[in-house]
Amino acid sequence: MSMANPPKKFRFGSSAITDAIGDTVRRGSAEAGAFHVDTLDVEKIEPDPDNPRQLLLSEEEFSWLLDAEAVTGARVSDAESPRLKILLRLRDLADSMLESGVLQPIRVFRHGNMYRIAYGERRYWAARLAGMKHLPAWISDQRPARIRTLQLVENMHRDDLDLAARMRNVMGVLDELSEEGDATGERLGNLLGMAERSARRYLQVARGPADVRQAVFAGTIKDLLVAASASAIQDDEQRSLVLTLLAKGLTWERALAELEKVRKPTAERMRGRPVTKVTLGATAKAGVVREIMQIILGEDHLPQLEWSDYRAVSKAWKEFLVEMEKRV
């Protein structure tokens, strides 16, 4: 497919996701009062402990990132854990700031004598790694009312998140959106910058059986399509069986195959005894019998009988069926 005119949702600049974030910022700003850009002392800035994207950078990790030799050794290592990748990208951002400065202010709000980060925590830590004493920031006097949604939306686009983390993000967004009515797949997709089909699957899991969500959070289910498919199983016992099989390491296809083995005997029991013959039904009209026999035998080979005599017609019909069974 040509990318000359990419779908609107995936364009950079003015797009569904950037417009949605902009709208969130505007709403939050309107409720929190005016905000302005200023340069803040890095020591006066702190991460928001409620931010789902909080890096939780330890002192040991911070010191390790300052060790150029250790970082270089990690870059050439084949054993890269997800956490190590996050740390190395943070070091890259710090190096970029040293070379080019801070290209975009972070967003903060007043919290006592400090300023808490609404979004831009990675830039904050990178600035500290780069040894910067000051950082440009958009400053609000109050905590923006819709800040959690903004943090969650921004968080969804990290490439290090697994399904469990993304699911928590989606549920956080849905929780904040609940006061405005039920979210649709289209609305959620536009807000999170994803295909409507994926958004509908997230909704199906978020609003579906709790045991499927628990399996997602436990790491048993790591694929969104599998989670949505499991949520669609209405029978509690059958769904529980599938989740148990997945927890044992079976693939979705194998788990479904095992489920079908359980479903088949159940379906046969519901049908009762096996069907051994075809029921032809009944008719009170001898003319119907005559018409059938005439079509098959022809007018010249019809039995000679009184067609108003039901006893005689019934006998002839039975003899006709016996003869047909012999032919077949």
Which residue spans within 47-168 are E strands per DSSP?
A: 106-111, 114-119, 134-140
pLDDT at 30: 45
Provide the CATH topology of domain 34-141: 3.90.1530
Residue 296 CB neighbours (<10 A)? 12
pLDDT tens-digit map of 250-304: 999 999 888 888 876 655 555 555 556 666 777 777 778 888 887 787 777 788 8
Dihedral angle of Cα 220, 225, 231, 232, to the nearest 10 degrees: -150
**Can you give the residue ranges of every domain in the chain?**
34-141, 237-276, 286-327
180 pLDDT tier (thresholds 50, 70, 90): low
Gyration radius of the chain over CA positions: 35
Give tens-digit pLDDT for 36-84: 778 999 999 999 887 766 678 889 999 999 999 999 988 887 666 878 8
SS3 42: helix
Closest CA to 39 of 108, 96, 95: 108
* Cα–Cα separations (whole angstroms), residue 166 to 15, 35, 111, 210: 21, 30, 28, 16
Lowest-pLDDT choice from 16-30, 146-160, 247-261: 16-30
Q: What is the pTM of this model?
A: 0.48
* pLDDT at res. 12: 33
Asked whether 17 and 155 are in contact (CB, 8 A), the reply is: no
Distance CA(198)–CA(212), nearest Å, equals: 17
